[in-house]
Structure formats: structure tokens, C-alpha cells
Structure 1
Amino acid sequence: MGPGASTVSMDLTDVWNRVLGGQPSPQLELVLIAAAVALLAVLPWRVWRITRNVVTIAHEGGHALAAVLTGRRLTGIQLHSDTSGLTLTRGKPRGPGMVLTAAAGYVTPSLLGLGVAALLGAGKITLLLWIAIVLLAAMLVMIRNAFGVLSVLVTGGLVFAVSWYAPSDIQAVFGYVIAWFLLLGGVRPVFELQRKRWRGRAPDSDADQLAKITGVPGGLWVTVFGLVTIASLVVGSTLLLPH
């Protein structure tokens, strides 16, 4: 084996060790700062109109993943500039696969946040960032509109830049911001959904589609979404805050 091959092997080993290696958890102050940054990205309406696009990526990604796992055919994903989205699948119009696919959207950001919190608790910050890159790359293949492509590329580019170029302490803070943002940002859309339903502005929402499929009232589905997102926030917070 020539020296060139050996160098490549060493480089790949270094990358692999970098991805799988553990990183120390940041101090409590940095964790709280990350939480404050996430709150500022979720609460102010003008900021939320922009940052909500990330939640939409997770939401539609949840629909897509559930569809694939339940045997439905995923045909495309659209992300729109008003932070709405659409996941197109083919399969039976009723049954467990359709129910799980429709139910996955609103709970996925919070469940992702919970998973992120677990990885951060294990010190796997770099691994977390690279998992995010892989998921975004897989989603990009199925995007079917220009804004969706731009949204995923910008998000993936930011995550890659932090994972590859930022020092470990910046990576840690960034990872905690992601976790807090998904946990907090997963709750708000559920309340927004119910407010729209009260005003009659969401007749084809996920909850109302589930009501048509299952016969269970849409309001009860919204309650389920809310319970999952709030429980994820509570459990995720205990994982993120140093003991």
C-alpha cells in the first residue's frame, strides 16, 4: 500500500474518531444561555416567522419518515415560504400507515429535540451534528420545490459549517441551542394549530385529516399532540440541565 492510501486511511480514521468521540458537557451557564437564545428564536413573532422554517423541515420530515417506515410510497416534499409544508405519499387512504403518517408531523420536532437532548447528555455533540446532516441530505433528495431546496441547503450548510469548522465549545452551545429550539419550537405550532381550528382556518389540518380517517375528534388529536410535545419538553429539560 502506497503512502497516499495510508494518508487517506488515517484521514478517514481521524474523521470517524472525531464524529464518534465524546465531548465534555458545557457549564450550566452556557446551557442556560442556549435556552435563552432558543426562546428568543421561538417567542418573538417576527423572528419566529423565519425560524419556524426549521420546525417545518422537522415536521414534514416526520411525515416522510413515518410514511416510509409504514410501507407507504413517498413521492415528494414541499416547503413553502409561509412556513407551511406538504408531504406527498401514496398508499391506502386509511389504516395504521396513514394514521401514523398523519400523526407524525406535529410531534416529530419535539421527539427530535428529545433525541438531541439524549445525545448531548451522552457527550455525542459532533455525532449529533453529523446525524442532522445525513437526515437533511436524505430529505433534500425528496424536495420538490425551489424554496424547499433553499431551506434545506441553508440549514444543512449551517450545521456542516459548525460541525467542521467551529471549536468544540461552540459546537456544544450550538447543539444545546438546537435541542432547546426543537423542544420549545415543537410546542408552539400545536397551540397555533388549535387557534386556527377555532377560527375555521385549518379545515384540512393533520388533526382534521386524522379525525376523518379514525373518527376520533380533531380536538382530541390536538390534545395528543400537545401532551407529547409538553412531555418531551419536560423530559428533555431534565436531560439538558446538568445534575
Structure 2
Amino acid sequence: MTDALLDIWTAATTPAPRPGVVPVLLLGGVALVLAQLPLLRQAVTVVHEAGHAVVAVAVGRRVSGIRLHADASGLTLSRGRPRGPGMVATLLAGYPAPTVLGVVAAAAVAGGYAVGLLWALVLGTAVLVLAVRNVYGLLVLLGLGGAVAAASWFLPPTTLGWVAVLLVWVLLLTAPRTVLELFRTPARRDTRSDPAQLAQVTRVPRLLWLLLMLVTTVAGAVLGGVLLLR
């Protein structure tokens, strides 16, 4: 076990060659197609709910649990004041979370630490397993974490660079699309989404929260793309 952990640490902290500009662009096109797959949509949902959980803990709320559903939706329950800055930050964190992770991951890949990024994702998935509260969510996390761990262990660093770039593109490109999907839902029918709850908590119109999330995710996608391509 000690030797295996040492091997993982060495691989994660050793810079490796990263894909060139043309492969990065091609992987971006592939990501646009693969982002429709249920498994990858679930992966983005995991990051979304993790964003809620991390910020909830950061502002002093108590996370009761995370649930993931087969329709690629999720729910993070936390306890604390029902209004105020902490609640606003917790509700606001979900949709930008894939973008934030995507930008950080793009910086890691640009620095040659694609393998370290993948092992960090495995560790993050393991932590989330402790917070999940339904069987389906547990299976999703075990499947995602196991797949990334297996790839990180068996594939060569060059191939892992391609895998990491693909995952980064999925995060960066999917985040704005999920926000755009909310624009198609009439406000009178949307009472449970993050922007709708933010409107209830702050009395700021749902549309303004949607616009803020869209600008944030689009700007993050551009920044992450620049980091990958520089």
C-alpha cells in the first residue's frame, strides 16, 4: 500500500508533456458531443452539488447530505439561517462550480500536472462519498471515481493529458449550457431551481441571477480555454 501511494504521489507531482494546440481544439469539439452522454452530465451534476456543499461549509452551514438522481439532477441539503449572505452564497455556488473547477483544472493541465489533477478528482470523489445519502448517488460516485482512478493508474502520462483536457472542456462547455437551459423554463413554472430560490431569498429577480450565472460561466469558459491553448 505504501509503495502504491508513493507511486501515485510521484506520478501526480511530476510534470508531464501536455497536448498541443491542435489536439486541444479537437478535444474541445469532442467534448461538445460527449457532454450529451448521461454519465458526463452526471459528472457535472456532481461538481454542481459539491459546489453547494463546499460553500455551505465555508460560510458555517451544516451539510445534511447530497442526493443524485437518474435524470442528472441533484440536491444538497444544509442547515443554517434561511436567509442572509451565507444562504445566498450557498445557492449561488452550484452553477458556477463546474466553471471554477474547469478553470483551476485548465491551469493544472497547462502546467503539466494532468495526472495530479486526475488523482485530485479521485480524492474529491472519495470525500463526497461520505456526504451522499442515496444508493444511486453512491453508485454514481463510485463509478466516476473508479473510472478516473483506473485510467490514472494504467494509462501513460501522455494519454492522461488528453483525458484531462477532455474533462476540462466538458466542465467549461457544459456549465453555460445548463444555465441557458433554465432560460427556456418559464419563471412561473420554475420554483425550485437555484435562481428561483435566490429570487425568493433576496427579492432580486430570477432573471438577474440567471444573467449573472451566464456571464460568470461564459467568462470562465473563455478563460479556461485560453489557459488550455496558451
TM-score, reference length from structure 1: 0.90
Give the Cα separation in 1 of the matches to 2:117 and 2:80: 32
Deviation for aligned residue 1:15: 3.2
| One-letter amino acid of the counterpart of residue 11, structure 2 | R
Structure 2 unaligned regions, length at least 5: none
Change in CA separation of 1:234 and 1:10 when aligned onto 2, cut-off 3 Å: same
Report the counterpart of residue 26 of structure 2 in structure 1.
33
Report the counterpart of residue 210 of structure 1 in structure 2.
198
Instruction: Report which of the two structures shows the higher radius of gyration computed on alpha carbons.
Output: 1
Change in CA separation of 1:90 and 1:39 when aligned onto 2, cut-off 3 Å: same
Q: 1:227 aligns with which of 208, 215, 228?
A: 215
Q: Residue 75 of structure 1 aligns to a residue in which SS?
A: strand
Report the counterpart of residue 123 of structure 2 in structure 1.
134
Contact 1:197 1:203 survives alignment (8 Å): no
Report the counterpart of residue 177 of structure 1 in structure 2.
166
Report the counterpart of residue 194 of structure 1 in structure 2.
183
Report the counterpart of residue 4 of structure 1 in structure 2.
none
Once the two structures are superposed, the pairs formed by residues 111-190 of structure 1 within 5 Å of their partners are: 111-190=100-179
| One-letter amino acid of the counterpart of residue 229, structure 1 | T
Deviation for aligned residue 1:12: 4.6
Report the counterpart of residue 22 of structure 1 in structure 2.
15
Superposed CA offset, 1:201-242 (max 9, x none): 32121101111111111110000000010000111111111x
Q: 1:97 aligns with which of 69, 86, 99?
A: 86
Give the Cα separation in 2 of the matches to 1:9 and 1:51: 32
Q: Residue 144 of structure 2 aligns to a residue in which SS?
A: helix
The reply on whether 1:81 has 2:70 as its aligned counterpart is: yes
Q: Residue 186 of structure 2 aligns to a residue in which SS?
A: helix
Contact 1:38 1:180 survives alignment (8 Å): yes
Change in CA separation of 1:9 and 1:89 when aligned onto 2, cut-off 3 Å: closer
Deviation for aligned residue 1:27: 2.1
Report the counterpart of residue 58 of structure 1 in structure 2.
47
**How many residues in Structure 1 have an aligned counterpart in Structure 2?**
230
Give the Cα separation in 2 of the matches to 1:207 and 1:48: 25
Report the counterpart of residue 5 of structure 1 in structure 2.
none
Q: Residue 88 of structure 1 aligns to a residue in which SS?
A: strand
Q: 2:56 aligns with which of 55, 58, 67?
A: 67
| One-letter amino acid of the counterpart of residue 233, structure 1 | A
Identity across matched positions, percent = 41
Change in CA separation of 1:48 and 1:197 when aligned onto 2, cut-off 3 Å: farther
TM-score, reference length from structure 2: 0.95
Deviation for aligned residue 1:138: 0.7
Give the Cα separation in 1 of the matches to 2:191 and 2:84: 21
Q: Residue 224 of structure 2 aligns to a residue in which SS?
A: helix
Q: 2:96 aligns with which of 85, 107, 118?
A: 107
Q: Residue 83 of structure 1 aligns to a residue in which SS?
A: coil
Deviation for aligned residue 1:9: 6.4
